[in-house]
Amino acid sequence: MNVHTTVQSHIAITDALAKLYLFLAQSLDRCVSEAARISYPEPEFQSNLASTRAAVLNMLSVNHVVQGKVEQECNRVGSLVTALTDGAAKTGVLDDLKAERAVLKHKTLVLSDLLAVLRAA
C-alpha cells in the first residue's frame, strides 16, 4: 500500500467515525428535543445511523480493540436512548445523557480537525 492510498484510507476512516459520532450525538439530541425529531424523519435517521455504524465497524475490523470501543460506545448511547424512551428515572439518565453528549461533541470536534489536516496533506 503506497502512502497516497494509506492517507486516503485514513481519511475515509476518520470521515466515517466523525459521521458516526455525529449520528450518535443526534440520537441523544432527539431524546430531549422535539425539533430534532421533527427535522429528520425517524426511519431515515435510523437507517443512516445503522449503515454508518456497520461501515465504521467494518473499517475497524483490522483492529478489534478500537472496533470494540466504538461498539461499546454505540451500545451505551443506544441504552441511554432506550432508557429515556422507556420512561426510566429521567433525572439520572438525563445526567448520563448530558455527559455522553459532551464526550461525543469533543470526539466529533477532534475528528473534524484531524480530517481537515489529513485532507490538507
Domain boundaries, the chain: 3-120
d(CA 50, CA 56): 10
What angle in degrees, to the nearest 10, is found between the helix axes of 42-59 and 3-32?
Answer: 150
Write down the pTM of the prediction. 0.90
Handedness of CA 72, 57, 77, 86 (dihedral sign): negative
First CA to last CA distance, the chain: 17
Instruction: Identify the band that residue 35 occupies on the pLDDT scale cut at 50, 70 and 90.
Output: confident
The predicted pLDDT at position 45 comes to 94
Q: Residue 93, Cβ neighbours under 10 Å: how many?
A: 19
Residue 89 zone, left/alpha/beta (φ > 0; ψ -120 to 50; rest): beta
Quick: pLDDT tens for 44-86: 999 999 999 999 999 999 999 999 999 999 999 999 998 887 6
Lowest mean pLDDT among 32-41, 52-61, 99-108: 32-41
